[in-house]
Amino acid sequence: MNPSDADAELMLRVRRGDRQAFRELVERHQRGVIQTIHRAIGDAWEAEDLAQRVFVQVWRSAARYEPTAKFTTWLFTIVHNTILNEYRRRTRRGAESLEALAQPDEDGESFGAQFADAASPDPSRAAVERELQAHISAAIRLLPDNQRTAVVLCRFEGFSYEEIAKVLHCSVPAVKSLLHRARETLKEQLKGCY
């Protein structure tokens, strides 16, 4: 059974109120969901909080899920909308500017800062790597919402143009345009990182 069929079967069970099936779905997709949200908002704890909301929404919306649609497309549509709602909430509260959101956490040892080279024996190399990570994260977070989602889904989740189009409710040519503009921006922002 391919992963997509397995997801569809689990969702059909979730529709019938099967909590074990729901738990399996969470375990299968928690990584992708948490990391996608983290790439948008930057805080690990908040990313997990929002990810939980996503999965609760999956449970609540189970009756609306159609097995003909790929589950990950449906799931990441909820993820994208959750991120947009979070941005709007922060804007309404005037909490932080987008630029501030894009700044790295001050405490490099806070939860979630489990980067590959953090435990490197060479402190200066670890510091350089952290700085690079911060720079890349900021560049991605500063992209317009739809461009950022297209980049994250394409680069990290392996979505096709068609799948991204379904998540963003746009056409495939529009997705190509979003990716092109995002890459042009990233090319400028990440000079010196490649």
Partner 1 sequence: MNCQQTKANFDERLDSQLDAARCEAFDAHVATCRACAAEWRAYAGAWTAVARQTAPEPSVGFAERTLRRLDETLTEHPRVWLAPLWRWALAGTVLVTLTAGGWFGWQTQHTHKAEVQAEIYALAQQDRLEDFDVVASLHLLNGDNP
The contact set with partner 1 (CB under 8 A) reads 19, 22-23, 26-27, 30-31, 34-35, 38-39, 44, 47-48, 51-52, 55-56, 59-60, 63, 111-116, 132-133, 136-137, 139-140, 151, 154-156, 161, 176, 179-180, 183, 186-187, 189-191, 193-194
Contact 9, 65 (CB under 8 A): no
Please check whether residue 175 is in contact with residue 164, taking contact to mean a CB–CB distance below 8 angstroms: yes
In whole angstroms, the minimum distance from the beta carbon of 93 to partner 1 comes to 22
> Quick one: 79 or 140, whose CB is closer to partner 1?
140
Residue with tokens 């979003």: 178
Question: Which residue number, 112 or 170, has a Cβ lying nearer to partner 1?
Answer: 112
Q: Which C-beta is closer to partner 1: that of 55 or that of 74? A: 55
Cα-trace Rg, the chain: 18
CB of 169 to partner 1, least distance (A): 21
CA-nearest of 40, 68, 159 to 54 is: 40
Q: Contact at 8 Å (CB) between 76 and 153?
A: yes
Alpha helix (H) ranges present in 67-122?
71-93, 98-101
CA–CA separation, 82 vs 84, rounded Å?
5
CB nearer partner 1, residue 98 or residue 193: 193
CB of residue 188 vs partner 1: minimum separation in angstroms? 8
In the complex, minimum distance from the CB of residue 94 to partner 1, in angstroms, rounded to a whole number: 27
